[in-house]
Structure 1
Amino acid sequence: MNAIQRIQPEEVFALPGLHAGVRVGELVGVGDFRAQAEQVFENLGAVLAERGSGFDRIMKLSAFFVDISRDLQVYREVRDQYIAAEHAPASTAVQVAKLFHPSVWIEVEAVAACAP
């Protein structure tokens, strides 16, 4: 996704480097799971870099798929381009009925060690 706008309403408690929400623009990879997975990891890399961290500091990944049997292998291929085997985090892969938009086929959550 592009055209990212970070949202921090005055009435919501603020911490340095964190935002209450993020508004994004155009969806990348409509109809193309690989493109969506690559964008997920590009976005994740940007967030990690912003906090002075990297893919080697991810402790846990949770991936949510709308069609795990179709997309799991491609996800693994893309993930492995970003995360070296020796830094593989604990991982969970789950199939869900749907995500927030019908054209979105993957969502990934990550827990990483970052600088304070």
Structure 2
Amino acid sequence: MTTNATSPVRYLNPEGSCPAQGLYSHVGTPDGKLMFIAGQLAVGADGGVVGKHDFDAQFRQVFSNLGDVLRGLGGDYSNILKFTTYLVHSQDIDHFMRLRAEMFPQFFGDKDYPPNTLLTIDRLVKEDFLIEVEATAYIGD
């Protein structure tokens, strides 16, 4: 999808991705290879919040949604260049670290992990969301 026929930028909503929570696309790409993936939230296929008040459930849903976007683009977690993670509560940093240590070896194997910037913020688009993760990926030929 292109919003401007002369623009090299394309906006995508890959098949299998959850419904967007506003007026945005899940992915922007200048060349079809470098992918800027919108922050993924704990949103189910029905568009509802998954895991209200449950950080672990939200973490798992966020990374499931991110995986869906990557697969829809023809990639997987090995295509990730960088993450930016937003947490609503600093008390969840330990939960985040524990879950990351548990799940990242499944995503990346026993190798180095992508860079991650971790921020705590006042709130996300809906108060029920506890975590949001955006990513940059490269999906080449």
TM range, smaller chain: 0.7 to 0.9
Contact 1:61 1:90 in 2 (8 A): yes
Q: Which residue number in structure 2 is paired with residue 29 of structure 1?
A: 51
Q: Are 1:103 and 2:123 counterparts?
A: no
Describe the superposition over 1:32-79 as per-residue Cα deviations: whole angstroms up to 9, x where unpaired. 0110110000000111111121112211000001112x2122223333
With over 3 angstroms needed to count, the CA separation of the structure-2 counterparts of 1:17 and 1:51, relative to structure 1, is farther
Normalising by the residue count of structure 1, what TM-score does the alignment of the two structures yield?
A: 0.76
C-alpha displacement of 1:17: 7.2
Moved more, 80-89 or 51-60: 80-89
With over 3 angstroms needed to count, the CA separation of the structure-2 counterparts of 1:25 and 1:90, relative to structure 1, is same
Which structure has the highest helix share of the two? 1
State the number of aligned residues. Answer: 106
**Divergent runs of 4+, >6 A:** 14-17
DSSP 3-state at the match of 1:34: helix
Say what the alpha-carbon RMSD is for the aligned residues: 2.7
Structure 2 stretches of 5 or more lacking a match?
14-23, 27-42
Q: Which residue number in structure 2 is paired with residue 5 of structure 1?
A: none
Equivalent pairs: percent with the same residue? 30
Normalising by the residue count of structure 2, what TM-score does the alignment of the two structures yield?
A: 0.64
